[in-house]
Amino acid sequence: MDRSWSTGRGFALITLAWLLASCASFGEGVTRGLLAQSEGPAEDTRQCEVSGPAFAGILPLLERQDGYPPLGQAGPERPILKVIMVHGVGTHVPGYSARLSANLARSLGLTVVAPEAKAFTIEAPGFPGETLGTLTVTRHTNTARDREMLFFELTWSPISQPAKDAIAFDSTAVYAHRRASLNNVFKQFVNDVAPDPLVYTGTGRDRIQVTIGQTLCWALSADWQTMPDEQRLCTPDDPAFASRLDVDEFAFITHSLGSRITTDGLTRLTRVIETAEADAPQLQRVTQSFRERDVKIFMLANQLPLLQSGLEPASVQGEVPAFCLPEGADFASRLFQETELIAFSDPNDLLSYPIPDAFVRDHVDSRLCPKQVNVTINIAPVRSVLGLGEFANPLSAHVDYDDDERVIGLITRGIGQPETAEVVVERCSWLEVGEDLR
């Protein structure tokens, strides 16, 4: 990597993180009283605009289980809905997505949860002695026990922790006492979030990609009963490898940097499989199955355009018709049937972006057969500050997706569908993009 590029990118990210921290603390601290509503609950005027083709949420994937015997009576052919969560910047600990998974389950009518989650640390032979992360799997079902969702929560924070430990001295009293109290809070925030994207573009990239690979491998290979509850490597040599690939349904939910990690991981995984096919014939069916599969990625606080800065364009770009249309010359070489990139961004979040057509054309591998939908949504309320202007807390705008009923409704029931959630119909406008008009 070019050193000057890396340094410039680092300063830019730190500056952005500083702005986010400053504005967030402003909203949370000193001016909290000024931003409070006068009397009584105010009308919720937060906007929600969806631009793109109609898309289904994860409910239809769950409904594939209808007609099968209930849990405990069905055989291995009974499908399972598997949702994979990948976090973004900042230190995360296992359980960080508990509120999101609970809200999704409640929206889907899955009001019963297994007493304990299954969790284990992720290690890999290529990085001996290193704990790369934690995979936590929770099981959700309904009272009739005829619908089931497994929620896979990936925590990769341990990979960037050494970089944060290296600058931890900056938060000690030796240095902190020289700062104004609010500035010290800002600096601690920067020290926690700034290393993550730098680690991912540097030494941590392969490590983080290993955690994605292991998470997906277990999702493709195990049901609840066969999911390990202690550290164990998932490999193509395992007789159960990818045994659930043609049975179960899969979707991803990502946050900020997690969107880049996931899209990179899907591209990398298919390339690894294609490269290994000659020596591992059992992988051929995996590749073929991927080519017949649709993938949904719900990207909260999307950062793909920002994280593309300074990187090369996609290796295969501007060739979607050739790879993704049945009559295309390269249709047999596509990676997936379709990859739905459903990007959520709050315009008052300083660190998230929509995905324009030009970005998809130049920076998303055409072999993924991408289809993007942009959800522009006010997560943080916009308030008037004593007649000086309007203000929305950028930190809330970046992180408070997991308790927003419009977000939950779009993830579970989509838009332009018979089952679209009432809250989405009432509070979200939709500008349909007709793919046939290109």
SS3 sequence of 246-314: CCCEEEEEEECHHHHHHHHHHHHHHHHHHHHCCCCHHHHHHHHHHHCCEEEEEEECCCHHHHCCCCCCC
The pLDDT tens digits for 311-361 are 778 888 899 999 999 999 999 989 899 999 999 999 999 889 999 999 999
Q: Report how far residue 46's alpha carbon sits from residue 135's, in angstroms, rounded to the nearest whole number.
A: 35
Across all residues in the chain, what is the average pLDDT? 87
Amino acid at 270: T
- Assign residue 121 a region: left if phi > 0, alpha if psi is -120 to 50, beta otherwise? beta
What is the C-alpha to C-alpha distance for residues 394 and 21, in angstroms, rounded to an integer?
8
pLDDT confidence bin for 29, thresholds 50/70/90:
very low
Least confident of 43-47, 107-111, 251-255: 43-47
The DSSP secondary-structure symbol of 238 reads S
Mean pLDDT is lowest, of 20-24, 235-239, 356-360, for 20-24
**What is the predicted pLDDT for the residue at 30?**
39
- Burial group, residue 245, by CB count within 10 angstroms (0-12, 13-18, 19+): middle
User: Which residues, in sequence order, are CB contacts of 135 under 8 Å at separation 6+?
Assistant: 119, 120, 122, 152, 153, 154, 155, 211, 214, 215, 218
Quick one: pLDDT at residue 389?
A: 82
CA–CA separation, 34 vs 37, rounded Å?
Answer: 8
H runs (alpha helix) in 64-138: 98-107
Pick the closest to residue 332 from 321, 319, 323, 345 (CA basis): 323
Contact 136, 153 (CB under 8 A): yes
**What's residue 14's pLDDT?**
43
Write down the pLDDT at residue 42: 63
Per-residue pLDDT band for 198 (boundaries 50, 70, 90) equals very high
**What is the model's pLDDT at position 34?**
42
The residue that leads in pLDDT, 386 or 292, is 292
Quick one: pLDDT at residue 431? 96
Alpha-carbon distance of 120 to 94, in angstroms, equals 10
Pick the closest to residue 102 from 139, 48, 58 (CA basis).
Answer: 139
Least reliable range by pLDDT among 106-110, 171-175, 205-209: 171-175
Residue reference for tokens 């939950």: 408
Q: Is the pLDDT of residue 396 over 60?
A: yes
% pLDDT > 90, the chain: 63
- With b for 16 or more beta-carbon neighbours within 10 A and e for fewer, the 127-148 pattern comes to eeebebbbbbbbbbbbeeebbb
Domains of the chain with bracketed CATH: 1-36+162-203 (no CATH), 65-160+205-411 (3.40.50)
User: Which of 103-107, 250-254, 279-283, 381-385 shows the lowest mean pLDDT across its residues?
Assistant: 279-283
Q: Which of 13-22, 90-99, 141-150, 406-415 has the lowest mean pLDDT?
A: 13-22
User: Cα–Cα–Cα angle for 247, 209, 10, nearest 5°?
Assistant: 145
Token pair recorded at residue 119 = 């969790």
Amino acid type, 200: Y
Q: Residue 117: its pLDDT value, please?
A: 97
* Dihedral angle computed from the Cα positions of residues 324, 326, 332 and 338, in that order, rounded to the nearest 10 degrees: 30
Query: How far, in Å, CA of 91 to CA of 341, rounded?
Result: 25
Please, which pLDDT band fits residue 275 given cuts at 50, 70 and 90?
A: low
pLDDT at residue number 21:
45
From first CA to last CA, the distance across the chain in angstroms is 38
Predicted confidence band of residue 437 (pLDDT cuts 50, 70, 90): low
Determine which helix (DSSP H) or strand (DSSP E) holds 366, and give its type and residue range: none
Only one residue has tokens 């591209």, namely: 267
> What pLDDT is attached to residue 278?
56
Predicted confidence (pLDDT) at residue 48 exceeds the cutoff of 90 = yes
* pLDDT of 15 above 70: no
Give the span between the Cα atoms of 104 and 149, in whole angstroms: 10
Whether 22 shows a pLDDT value over 70: the answer reads no
pLDDT at 13: 46
Find the range with the poorest average confidence among 21-25, 325-329, 376-380, 415-419: 21-25
Distance set, CA 124 to CA 113, 131, 147, 292 (Å): 30, 8, 33, 29
Q: What SS3 string covers 200-212?
A: HCCCCHHHHHHHH
- Helix (H) / strand (E) element for 241: namely none
Write out the two tokens for 242: 């990818």
Helix or strand (DSSP H, E) at 30: none
Find out whether 389 and 29 touch, Cβ atoms under 8 Å: no
Distances (CA, A) of 104 to 36, 317, 437: 30, 35, 34
pLDDT at 104 over 90: yes
**pLDDT tens per residue, range 113-151:** 999 999 999 999 899 999 999 999 999 999 999 999 999
Whether 27 has a pLDDT exceeding 50, the answer reads: no
